[in-house]
Amino acid sequence: MTIVTIYSRTGCHLCEDALKVLESLKDELDFEISEVMIDGDEELQRLYGEQIPVTHIDGIHHDYWRVDPERFRSSLEKHRRHQ
Protein backbone atom coordinates (compact mmCIF):
# COMPACT_ATOMS: atom_id res chain seq x y z
CA MET A 1 0.00 0.00 0.00
CA THR A 2 1.29 3.43 -0.93
CA ILE A 3 1.70 5.78 2.03
CA VAL A 4 1.35 9.52 1.51
CA THR A 5 2.81 11.46 4.41
CA ILE A 6 1.80 15.04 5.04
CA TYR A 7 3.96 17.07 7.42
CA SER A 8 1.85 19.75 9.04
CA ARG A 9 1.47 22.03 12.01
CA THR A 10 -1.38 22.88 14.36
CA GLY A 11 -3.52 25.75 13.05
CA CYS A 12 -2.10 25.58 9.51
CA HIS A 13 -4.86 26.41 7.00
CA LEU A 14 -2.81 25.25 4.01
CA CYS A 15 -2.27 21.95 5.80
CA GLU A 16 -6.00 21.52 6.35
CA ASP A 17 -6.65 22.27 2.66
CA ALA A 18 -3.96 19.83 1.51
CA LEU A 19 -5.33 17.11 3.78
CA LYS A 20 -8.83 17.62 2.34
CA VAL A 21 -7.50 17.22 -1.21
CA LEU A 22 -5.63 14.05 -0.25
CA GLU A 23 -8.69 12.65 1.55
CA SER A 24 -10.80 13.27 -1.56
CA LEU A 25 -8.34 11.27 -3.71
CA LYS A 26 -7.34 8.40 -1.42
CA ASP A 27 -10.11 5.92 -2.26
CA GLU A 28 -9.89 6.55 -5.99
CA LEU A 29 -6.09 6.28 -6.09
CA ASP A 30 -5.74 3.65 -3.33
CA PHE A 31 -3.28 5.12 -0.84
CA GLU A 32 -3.11 5.69 2.91
CA ILE A 33 -2.47 9.04 4.57
CA SER A 34 -0.08 9.54 7.45
CA GLU A 35 -0.12 12.98 9.08
CA VAL A 36 3.00 14.01 10.98
CA MET A 37 2.77 17.10 13.14
CA ILE A 38 6.05 19.00 13.25
CA ASP A 39 5.06 20.96 16.38
CA GLY A 40 7.72 20.47 19.05
CA ASP A 41 10.10 18.47 16.83
CA GLU A 42 13.14 20.68 16.27
CA GLU A 43 14.54 18.59 13.40
CA LEU A 44 11.25 18.51 11.47
CA GLN A 45 10.70 22.22 12.11
CA ARG A 46 14.17 22.92 10.75
CA LEU A 47 13.55 20.78 7.67
CA TYR A 48 9.98 21.79 6.86
CA GLY A 49 9.00 24.80 8.99
CA GLU A 50 8.65 27.33 6.17
CA GLN A 51 7.29 24.92 3.56
CA ILE A 52 4.47 23.09 5.30
CA PRO A 53 2.47 21.27 4.36
CA VAL A 54 5.07 18.99 2.83
CA THR A 55 3.94 15.80 1.14
CA HIS A 56 5.93 12.61 0.58
CA ILE A 57 4.93 9.54 -1.42
CA ASP A 58 6.40 6.44 0.23
CA GLY A 59 9.06 8.61 1.87
CA ILE A 60 10.01 10.46 -1.33
CA HIS A 61 9.45 14.21 -1.41
CA HIS A 62 6.52 15.18 -3.64
CA ASP A 63 5.63 18.81 -3.02
CA TYR A 64 5.03 21.56 -0.48
CA TRP A 65 2.49 24.29 0.35
CA ARG A 66 -0.41 23.00 -1.74
CA VAL A 67 -1.59 19.71 -3.20
CA ASP A 68 -2.61 20.09 -6.82
CA PRO A 69 -4.81 17.06 -7.60
CA GLU A 70 -3.56 16.60 -11.18
CA ARG A 71 0.10 17.02 -10.26
CA PHE A 72 -0.35 14.61 -7.35
CA ARG A 73 -2.11 12.04 -9.55
CA SER A 74 0.69 12.24 -12.12
CA SER A 75 3.44 11.93 -9.50
CA LEU A 76 1.71 8.97 -7.87
CA GLU A 77 1.44 7.17 -11.23
CA LYS A 78 5.14 7.80 -11.98
CA HIS A 79 6.12 6.63 -8.51
CA ARG A 80 4.19 3.38 -8.93
CA ARG A 81 5.68 2.69 -12.36
CA HIS A 82 9.18 2.93 -10.87
CA GLN A 83 8.44 0.54 -8.01
Could you give the domains of the chain? 2-81 (3.40.30.10)
Q: What is the per-residue pLDDT for 83?
A: 80
pLDDT for position 2: 96
- Determine if the pTM surpasses 0.85: yes
- Please name the helix (run of DSSP H) or strand (run of DSSP E) that holds residue 33, with its range, or none: strand 31-37
Q: Is 55 helix (H, G, I), strand (E, B) or coil?
A: strand
Residue 44's pLDDT is: 96
Which parts of the chain have pLDDT scores under 50? none
Q: How far apart are CA 51 and CA 1, in angstroms?
A: 26
pLDDT at position 26 is 97
d(CA 54, CA 47): 10
